[in-house]
Protein backbone atom coordinates (compact mmCIF):
# COMPACT_ATOMS: atom_id res chain seq x y z
CA UNK A 1 0.00 0.00 0.00
CA UNK A 2 1.52 3.34 -1.07
CA UNK A 3 0.33 6.88 -0.36
CA UNK A 4 -3.19 6.21 -1.64
CA UNK A 5 -4.57 6.16 1.89
CA UNK A 6 -3.26 9.68 2.69
CA UNK A 7 -4.92 11.56 -0.18
CA UNK A 8 -7.77 12.80 2.02
CA UNK A 9 -5.41 14.06 4.73
CA UNK A 10 -3.61 16.73 2.71
CA UNK A 11 -3.11 19.84 4.83
CA UNK A 12 -3.52 23.16 3.13
CA UNK A 13 -1.88 26.33 4.36
CA UNK A 14 -4.36 28.89 5.57
CA UNK A 15 -3.53 32.55 5.94
CA UNK A 16 -5.20 34.34 8.80
CA UNK A 17 -5.83 38.02 8.25
CA UNK A 18 -6.59 40.18 11.26
CA UNK A 19 -7.88 43.71 10.88
CA UNK A 20 -6.64 45.87 13.74
CA UNK A 21 -8.53 49.06 12.82
CA UNK A 22 -11.00 48.36 15.62
CA UNK A 23 -8.15 48.96 18.08
CA UNK A 24 -5.48 50.97 16.23
CA UNK A 25 -5.76 54.27 14.37
CA UNK A 26 -3.33 56.75 12.83
CA UNK A 27 -5.42 59.86 12.17
CA UNK A 28 -3.91 61.98 14.95
CA UNK A 29 -0.39 62.33 16.36
CA UNK A 30 0.99 63.08 12.88
CA UNK A 31 0.01 59.61 11.64
CA UNK A 32 1.71 57.83 14.56
CA UNK A 33 -0.29 54.67 15.29
CA UNK A 34 -2.05 54.70 18.65
CA UNK A 35 -4.85 52.96 20.52
CA UNK A 36 -8.20 54.02 19.02
CA UNK A 37 -9.94 56.56 21.22
CA UNK A 38 -6.88 56.92 23.44
CA UNK A 39 -3.66 58.86 23.13
CA UNK A 40 -1.42 55.88 23.82
CA UNK A 41 1.06 55.31 20.97
CA UNK A 42 1.62 51.75 19.80
CA UNK A 43 5.37 52.40 20.09
CA UNK A 44 5.04 53.24 23.79
CA UNK A 45 3.25 49.97 24.53
CA UNK A 46 5.70 47.93 22.43
CA UNK A 47 8.83 49.62 23.81
CA UNK A 48 7.58 49.21 27.38
CA UNK A 49 6.94 45.52 26.74
CA UNK A 50 10.44 45.10 25.34
CA UNK A 51 12.54 47.27 27.65
CA UNK A 52 10.78 46.34 30.89
CA UNK A 53 9.93 42.78 29.88
CA UNK A 54 6.35 43.67 30.80
CA UNK A 55 3.60 41.08 30.55
CA UNK A 56 0.29 41.75 28.84
CA UNK A 57 -1.30 42.05 32.27
CA UNK A 58 1.28 44.63 33.37
CA UNK A 59 0.78 46.64 30.18
CA UNK A 60 -2.99 46.52 30.73
CA UNK A 61 -2.49 47.94 34.21
CA UNK A 62 0.15 50.53 33.27
CA UNK A 63 -1.83 52.00 30.39
CA UNK A 64 -5.38 51.15 31.56
CA UNK A 65 -6.02 49.17 28.38
CA UNK A 66 -7.99 46.02 27.69
CA UNK A 67 -6.24 42.79 26.82
CA UNK A 68 -7.44 43.17 23.23
CA UNK A 69 -5.97 46.68 22.98
CA UNK A 70 -2.59 45.56 24.29
CA UNK A 71 -2.45 42.54 22.01
CA UNK A 72 -3.50 44.66 19.02
CA UNK A 73 -0.76 47.19 19.79
CA UNK A 74 1.88 44.47 20.06
CA UNK A 75 0.75 42.77 16.86
CA UNK A 76 0.54 46.08 15.00
CA UNK A 77 4.06 46.94 16.12
CA UNK A 78 5.34 43.55 15.02
CA UNK A 79 3.80 44.04 11.58
CA UNK A 80 5.01 47.67 11.20
CA UNK A 81 8.18 47.81 13.32
CA UNK A 82 10.43 49.47 10.72
CA UNK A 83 7.93 52.22 9.98
CA UNK A 84 7.15 52.85 13.66
CA UNK A 85 10.82 52.86 14.65
CA UNK A 86 11.54 55.40 11.90
CA UNK A 87 8.68 57.61 13.12
CA UNK A 88 9.92 57.41 16.70
CA UNK A 89 13.48 58.24 15.64
CA UNK A 90 12.20 61.28 13.72
CA UNK A 91 10.27 62.38 16.82
CA UNK A 92 13.37 62.06 19.00
CA UNK A 93 15.47 63.98 16.49
CA UNK A 94 12.85 66.76 16.27
CA UNK A 95 12.68 66.96 20.06
CA UNK A 96 16.47 67.13 20.36
CA UNK A 97 16.61 69.89 17.75
CA UNK A 98 13.95 71.93 19.59
CA UNK A 99 15.83 71.42 22.85
CA UNK A 100 19.10 72.53 21.24
CA UNK A 101 17.47 75.68 19.81
CA UNK A 102 15.86 76.46 23.16
CA UNK A 103 19.18 76.12 24.97
CA UNK A 104 20.89 78.36 22.41
CA UNK A 105 18.20 80.98 22.91
CA UNK A 106 18.64 80.86 26.71
CA UNK A 107 22.41 81.28 26.41
CA UNK A 108 22.06 84.63 24.61
Q: Quick one: which H or E segment has residue 61?
A: helix 56-63
Domain boundaries, the chain: 18-107
- In this structure, what are the phi and psi dihedrals at residue 63, rounded to the nearest 5 degrees? -110, 5
Is pLDDT larger for residue 1 or for residue 34? 34
Which of 5-9, 35-39, 62-66 is least confident? 5-9
CATH number at 18-107:
1.10.10.10
Tell me the C-alpha distance between 46 and 64, whole Å. Answer: 15
pLDDT at residue 49 in the model: 97
Tell me the C-alpha distance between 101 and 96, whole Å. Answer: 9
Amino acid sequence: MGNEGNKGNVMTEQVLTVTLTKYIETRIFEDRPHIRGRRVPVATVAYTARTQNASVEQLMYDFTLSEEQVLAALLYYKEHAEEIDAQELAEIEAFNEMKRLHEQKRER
